[in-house]
Amino acid sequence: MAGSVIQIALALYLATIFTSKLRGENVFKGLIFFPYLVNGIAIGFIFKFFFTRGFVFDTVLQWCGFQLDNLPYWLRDQRINNWSLVGTSVWRYLGQNMVLFIGAMMSVDTDLLEASQLDGANKWQQFWYIILPSIRTIVTLNIILSITGALSAFEPPYVITNGANGTGTYFVIMDEIAHTQQRLGLASAMAVFLLLIIFIVTIAQRLLFKYVFRNMDVEDQVLSRKEIRKMRKESKALIAELRAAHEREGSERDA
């Protein structure tokens, strides 16, 4: 769950950067999005060898001056092994969230950004008051996907650690109960309970976002009312002009 927050924050940050014109941005977008296209089982095997004692990660750290004896066991030490799996998940799904955010940010009205810049708004104010409210639907979608993905994580923990040393997620434990212990009734009950958890978390998240953006909703309603009043005034003025023109045509015909 903590990894989901980190993942969303990084994706928002990178999407904000890539919406600006940068040299070689398409290459970086492709590199960040590519892990999402890789099969989850393959990613599990990659990071299993990546974090294994004395393998890739330890070798890179030794090049940086660290001693192997001083390095922890990334997949055995219960203080950090779950964070190792979090890093795997963030690396895989960061590109998906980033692409969704970029697509949403490209649809933000540029006139609003230019007007706010002329009024003296900095980048943070533009992001908080214009960009974020405009893409809140995609933010909500990404948070729901990240939360449900965190609750139903299976492939990386199963392949990398097989749920050992406190890394067993809900699905890994449910798989062990169903297929190893042959307790299918309990596993089925766990699946139903997980559905209820996801439903409750989704409702809570929607209520939270509704509370956070309550001021934005009020402003939108006020703006829409002003626009309706303006359209009514314009339509009344147009009707009056048409009537006047029609009366002038009638008087000209009579003359």
DSSP 19-46: TS--TTHHHHHHHHHHHHHS-HHHHHHH
The tokens describing 207, both together, are: 């209520």
Phi-psi region at 165: left, alpha or beta (left = phi > 0; alpha = psi -120 to 50): left
Per-residue model confidence (pLDDT) at position 142: 86
> Which residue type, as a one-letter code, is found at position 155?
E
Phi and psi (nearest 5°) for 183? -105, 80
Per-residue model confidence (pLDDT) at position 11: 92
**What is the greatest pairwise CA distance in the chain?**
108
3-state secondary structure of 77: coil
Per-residue model confidence (pLDDT) at position 215: 62
pLDDT of the chain along its 255 residues, tens only?
Answer: 888 889 999 999 998 888 877 777 888 888 999 999 988 889 989 999 999 888 889 899 999 988 888 888 888 888 888 999 999 999 999 999 999 999 888 888 777 888 888 878 888 888 888 888 888 888 888 888 888 888 888 888 889 988 888 888 888 899 889 888 889 899 899 989 988 988 888 788 778 777 766 665 545 554 456 555 666 676 667 767 767 766 776 666 666
Minimal CA–CA distance to 125: which of 143, 110, 108, 113? 113
Cα separation, 134 vs 26, in Å, equals 24
Q: What pTM value is reported for the model? A: 0.73
Rg (CA), the chain: 28
CA distance between the termini of the chain: 82
Per-residue model confidence (pLDDT) at position 222: 47
The tokens describing 30, both together, are: 């492709």
H runs (alpha helix) in the chain = 2-18, 25-37, 40-51, 56-63, 81-105, 110-118, 123-126, 132-134, 136-151, 155-160, 170-175, 184-212, 214-254
Cα separation, 87 vs 189, in Å, equals 30
Per-residue model confidence (pLDDT) at position 63: 92
